[in-house]
Amino acid sequence: MHGFSYKNGSLFCEDVDLSTLAAEHGTPLYVYSAGTIIDHYTRLDAALDGVDHEVAYAVKANSNLSVLRLLATKGAGFDIVSGGELFRVIKAGGDPAHCTFAGVGKTRDEIVYALEQGIYSFNVESEEELRYLDKVAGELGMIAPAAVRVNPNVDAKTHKYISTGKSENKFGVDFTAIEELYERASKELPNIRLRGLQMHIGSQLTSISPFIEAVEKVTPLVLTLKEKHGIEFWSIGGGIGIIYKESLESGAVDWWESQPLEERPLTISRYGEELVPRLKGLGLKILLEPGRLIVGNSGVLLTKCLFEKRGSAKTFKIVDAGMNDLIRPALYEGHHEIVPLSEPPTGERFKVDVVGPICESGDFFCQDRLLPDFQPGDYIALMSAGAYGFAMASNYNSRPLPAEILVEGGTATVIRKRQTLDDVIAGEL
């Protein structure tokens, strides 16, 4: 569920009319619901009651300092994939001792920085990386806490670009090689503390089955590593999906209750009900690394229709946001529900392409989609844009980055100023 709905004919974020924000701050414009972020975090945390656990938010999903600060005040840990993300967490008031550092290509500078800040664990992706971590830690006279990422070869049945748990993916160490790797590391790497085991099978999973399969497959391995090497935690990753195709409607409880039980998307409560019994007897701390689940449906990208172009084959609605602002549709066919800020009448829909101003044929937000009519000058919202939206934005075509706004009840705060053209070329000679 989320904080977006029509009220008196206008689309609101919590208690703020989005059309007023678009008019005041311009477009493209990212707007986030603080209440949605907090609600998703607290409900996931509560769903794991009965198990020693920590919810470590995946910073890559949305790394705005105000978003990180909001989660830090609620006690969240953080899953980071770069030294820059660790820097952001610290600036936002997060505790490095509750940070895990993932990623397949950590540099020496990043490792040194993370060791000096006292992170909880490095999630290591290969034996080569583990040996390099040992070398760097030894040169500093330090012990590096580490967990190897196991690749359980479980098919998450998600898009190939966000699948991470199969043998052909670049992430992790083969399931059959983990025990021997821990044995070698315990004997040969004196500057490594084997603190845990990590896994993550992919993103945007809307079925519980892959999670159950992965947990049940890896549990015997976890217990063996606990007995032989004294590991203290098991990170089971993130990956719980969100609603994209009926995003606006899914903000209401009634929508969820109307879905046939066998077709109902995975809920936070179902996730906890299925996994807690499988995890509670292990005697290990369980880490979760959600990103999209926490912030995905908390955000929208507002954009203004500039022109309508009617051709013999298609009708194009040209808007002022582009693939540089939200790249998911171009990058991996990501679907975003598109709704006018003024509530449309029920009835006729028109088949259109919604496209941006970028000089690329891939610069589109939808193709051949039936949408309510909107005209030049009207504002629309691209729903479910809170995760991998601004975080993946760029200055392609020398376009300034959008502003970001955080809404808390009836208060809207600018949490990132819109870039100016001077900002875009800052640092260049």
| The predicted structure's pLDDT at residue 312 | 87
Confirm whether residue 328 is marked as ligand binding. yes
Query: Could you give the CA distance from residue 89 to residue 72 in angstroms, rounded to a whole number?
Result: 8
| The predicted structure's pLDDT at residue 90 | 98
| The predicted structure's pLDDT at residue 385 | 98
Q: Which amino acid is at 138?
A: G
Contacts of 263 (CB under 8 A, 6+ apart): none
C-alpha separations of 63 from 59, 84, 92, 200 in Å: 5, 10, 10, 20
Confirm whether residue 360 is marked as ligand binding. yes
Residue 169 phi, psi dihedral angles, 5° rounding? -80, 155
Domains and CATH numbers, the chain: 4-30+297-425 (2.40.37.10), 35-294 (3.20.20.10)
| The predicted structure's pLDDT at residue 344 | 93
Q: Compute how many other C-beta atoms are within 10 angstroms of the C-beta atom of residue 188.
A: 11
Confirm whether residue 332 is marked as ligand binding. yes
Confirm whether residue 239 is marked as ligand binding. yes
| The predicted structure's pLDDT at residue 102 | 96
**Residue 209 DSSP SS3:** helix
| The predicted structure's pLDDT at residue 168 | 53
The predicted-structure confidence for 321-377, as pLDDT tens digits, reads as follows 999 999 999 998 999 999 999 999 888 899 999 999 999 999 999 999 999 999 999
Active site (catalytic) residues: 359
| The predicted structure's pLDDT at residue 169 | 54
Does this model's pTM top 0.85? My answer is yes
Q: Which two tokens stand for residue 185?
A: 């590391």
- Cβ atoms of residues 71 and 88 within 8 Å: no
Confirm whether residue 292 is marked as ligand binding. yes
| The predicted structure's pLDDT at residue 263 | 79
The predicted-structure confidence for 107-162, as pLDDT tens digits, reads as follows 999 999 999 999 999 999 999 999 999 999 999 999 999 999 999 888 655 545 44
pLDDT-flagged residues of the chain (< 70): 155-170
Confirm whether residue 274 is marked as ligand binding. no
Query: Could you give the CA distance from residue 304 to residue 313 in angstroms, rounded to a whole number?
Result: 24
Contacts of residues 78-81 at CB distance under 8 Å and 24 or more positions apart, as own/partner, are 79/238, 79/289, 79/291, 80/119
- C-alpha dihedral over 334, 340, 346, 349, to 10 degrees? -60
Query: Could you give the CA distance from residue 299 to residue 33 in angstroms, rounded to a whole number?
Result: 6
Confirm whether residue 43 is marked as ligand binding. no
